């Protein structure tokens, strides 16, 4: 199950040529010193957005904030499994997240 989600995550990131997947045991993407997507141990996908966009997507997707290792990851939206089937659409969200972190002060 987790391996399938990891494969999906890799395919998703492969659709976004401006960045690449990092992390061996905890797959993630980062840019400008900021992490912006993450696959947790449960195989759930979290993507980071600005506060306004995050609130919009929480309602639009009828979802919650993303959790990893039992902690709520502030700024991250949990993408429901039903949305993982459309990788092209997911790639749009991931690129939107990348654009967002590129506006933040570099770490």
What per-residue confidence (pLDDT) applies to 25? 87
List, in order, residues 6 or more apart from 1 with CB less than 8 Å away. 43
pLDDT of residue 100: 98
CATH number of 2-101: 3.30.1460.30
Q: Hey, which residues does 36 pair with through a beta bridge?
A: none
Copy the structure tokens of residue 72.
């709520």
pLDDT tens column, 21-64: 999 889 999 999 999 999 999 999 999 999 999 999 999 999 99
How wide is the angle at C-alpha 105 spanned by C-alphas 64 and 9, nearest 5°? 45
Percent of the residues in the chain that have a pLDDT greater than 90, as a whole number: 95
**Section 90-102 average pLDDT:** 98
CA 17 to chain centroid, in Å, comes to 15
Q: Can you give the residue ranges of every domain in the chain? A: 2-101
Beta strands 45-48; 34-39: pairing state: antiparallel
0.85 cut: is pTM over it? yes
């Amino acid at each position: 199950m987790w391996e399938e989600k990891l494969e999906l995550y890799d395919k998703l990131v492969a659709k976004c040529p401006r960045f690449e997947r990092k992390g061996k045991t905890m797959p993630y993407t980062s840019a400008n010193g900021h992490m912006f997507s993450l696959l947790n141990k449960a195989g759930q996908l979290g993507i980071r957005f600005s506060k306004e966009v995050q609130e919009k997507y929480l309602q639009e997707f009828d979802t919650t904030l993303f959790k990893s290792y039992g902690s709520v990851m502030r700024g991250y939206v949990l993408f429901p499994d039903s949305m993982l089937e459309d990788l092209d659409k997911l790639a749009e969200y991931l690129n939107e997240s990348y654009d967002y972190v590129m506006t933040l002060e570099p770490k």
